[in-house]
Amino acid sequence: MWKKDETPSSPPATPKKEESPAPSRPAPPPPSGEQRATIGRSITIRGEVRGNEDLLIQGEIDGSVELEKQAVTVGEEGKVTANITGRVVTVEGFVEGDLKAEERVILTSSAQVQGDITAPRVVLEDGANFRGGIDMGVPGKESGKADASSSQESGRDSGPTKSSGTAGGSGDGSPSSSDTRKDAQEKSGKAKV
Amino acid sequence: MRWLRRLWPEPPPESEAEEAEEPEDTEETGPPAVERAAPGIAALFHELEPDGTHAVLDLGPAARTHLDIYSRYARRIRFADLLGAPARGENWATALQALPSGARELFDVVLAWDLLDRMSPEEHPLLVERLAGLTSEGALLHILVNASPDRPPRPVRFTLQSLERIRHEPEAHPWPTWPPLLPAEVERVLEPFHVIHAFTLRLGYRAYVAVRREEE
């Protein structure tokens, strides 16, 4: 029997966890190609992964992943020993390697990451296990103002505030967001000391 | 008198009430996690311009709130999780060596938490020397030391809640057996970092903010 939402253009075997805002229904595919490929649990790849589709990794990759304009997600069962480059890189599983994203890197609560992150915005959820460096000064990029966009984020607190510098501060800000940003201001002086 | 009972519900049986107030292992683990003032952290960040140009090295584990706070000041942040080295089976010397080289990355803010308390006196110079190699002139160091006889029976994991509040959570393992570092010794141990602020906190902790200055 014909079903309303079954159309020839719908992507085959769309994974359950749809994270990217990319349309997964009959809309015409955007030029960059918004379908998401999946590397399944039983797949192991040694080498270089490149392409023009978003990618969900549930298997193992040992090498490199370069999808500069795409969203790359390392699923909860994914195990990647590689540097990953993407537009948005989301990690729910294990990564040993550097993460580089044009827009943002998101480490969810189940993420285990050892490596360096380069992205203008980084989201670190509670429970994420991360060891490494974060560089938010991506050369050539405009500074991004804070915008709470992850579902885990409910907005930032009051932003840069100068404390009194004395004991017993009572201001109890409630940080709620880890969506970080870089400021474009370049000042030569570091500490005022 | 039923209405009164509704307002003042009957207390639980004595045994239950005791259990509720005193967890079984309170004596071993110390008090449960609590949130306290963090004057050392406030003083540290008060010294910085919130212009996003700084580089922060946190020797503790990564935490969402830490990233949120540091990112207001820093463009580069490193979570080294040196505190987790023993749990990973690494000794301090190995863990210190695994830090990036100063030639590659220099920091102007370092949060060392209570690392000195966890290391042997022989390892203190290793830590400070390594930090000196990773920092620039004028860099700021925040460190906590507890030499008080009242210190909690187990080390504490510190998690920033804001610039002025910090969460203290007892860890599972006991303190190492090293003699505690007395306040008078701290300044000597921290050379070439010079203490510019010191705060006495509850449970015997002292928070120090020091600046790296070469001898004149």
pLDDT, tens digit (0-9, with 9 covering 90-100), for A100-114: 999 999 999 999 999
- Residues of chain B short of pLDDT 70, as ranges, are 1-31, 215-216
**pLDDT attached to residue B26:** 42
CA distance B34 to B117: 20
Q: Is residue B202 in a domain?
A: yes
**pLDDT attached to residue B31:** 62
- Run of H or E residues at B127: helix B124-134
Chain B residues close to A141, C-beta within 8 Å: none
**pLDDT attached to residue A116:** 96
Does residue A122 register a pLDDT over 70?
A: yes
Burial label for B177, CB within 10 Å (0-12, 13-18, 19+), is exposed
Q: Contact B100/A133, CB-based, under 8 Å?
A: yes
Report the relative pairing of strands B165-170 and B34-37 from DSSP bridges. antiparallel
Q: Is residue B74 in a domain?
A: yes
Is the CB of residue A91 less than 8 Å from the CB of residue A76? no
Using DSSP's 3-state secondary structure scheme, residue A50 falls into: strand
Q: Contact A165/B43, CB-based, under 8 Å?
A: yes
**pLDDT attached to residue A93:** 98
**pLDDT attached to residue A155:** 30
Q: Is residue B71 in a domain?
A: yes
Q: Tell whether A177 lies on the interface with B, counting CB pairs under 8 A.
A: yes
> To the nearest whole angstrom, how far is the Cα of B28 from the nearest Cα of chain A?
25
**pLDDT attached to residue A7:** 41
- Run of H or E residues at B167: strand B165-170
Q: Tell whether A139 lies on the interface with B, counting CB pairs under 8 A.
A: no
**pLDDT attached to residue B49:** 86
Q: Is residue B137 in a domain?
A: yes
CA distance B100 to B78: 10
CA distance B67 to A128: 12
Q: Tell whether A137 lies on the interface with B, counting CB pairs under 8 A.
A: yes
- pLDDT band for position A18 (cuts 50, 70, 90): very low
Q: Contact B46/A156, CB-based, under 8 Å?
A: no
Is the CB of residue B85 less than 8 Å from the CB of residue B115? no
Does residue A25 register a pLDDT over 60?
A: no
**pLDDT attached to residue B202:** 82
**pLDDT attached to residue B30:** 53
Q: Is residue B166 in a domain?
A: no
Chain A residues close to B162, C-beta within 8 Å: 157, 171-175
Chain A residues close to B163, C-beta within 8 Å: 161, 163, 169, 171, 173
Q: Is residue B141 in a domain?
A: yes
Q: Which long-range contacts (CB under 8 A, 24 or more apart) does B193-198 make?
A: B193/B128, B193/B131, B193/B132, B193/B141, B196/A193, B197/A165, B197/B39, B197/B40, B197/B43, B197/B44
Q: Which long-range contacts (CB under 8 A, 24 or more apart) does A21-29 make?
A: A22/A54, A22/A71
- Run of H or E residues at B29: helix B26-29
Using DSSP's 3-state secondary structure scheme, residue B97 falls into: helix
Q: Tell whether A145 lies on the interface with B, counting CB pairs under 8 A.
A: no
Measured torsion, CA atoms of residues B187, B41, B170, B33, in degrees rounded to the nearest 10: 150
pLDDT, tens digit (0-9, with 9 covering 90-100), for B138-151: 999 999 998 887 77
Domain count, chain B: 1
Q: Is residue B62 in a domain?
A: yes
Q: Which domain holds residue B116?
A: 41-149+179-212
- Chain B residue with the nearest C-alpha to that of A112: B62
pLDDT, tens digit (0-9, with 9 covering 90-100), for A133-188: 999 985 444 443 333 333 333 233 333 333 333 333 333 333 333 444 433 333 33
> To the nearest whole angstrom, how far is the Cα of B113 from the nearest Cα of chain A?
16
Phi/psi of residue B16, nearest 5 degrees: -65, -40
| % residues pLDDT > 90 (chain A) | 52
B37, B49, B54 ranked by CB distance to A169: nearest: B37
Is the CB of residue A86 less than 8 Å from the CB of residue A32? no
Where b means 16+ CB within 10 Å and e means fewer, B80-99 reads: bbbbebeeeeeebeebbeeb
Q: Is residue B199 in a domain?
A: yes
Does residue A12 register a pLDDT over 50?
A: no
For the domain that residue B187 is a member of, what is the CATH number? 3.40.50.150
**pLDDT attached to residue A10:** 42
- Identity at A67, one-letter amino acid code: L
Report the relative pairing of strands B165-170 and A112-114 from DSSP bridges. unpaired
Does residue A118 register a pLDDT over 60?
A: yes
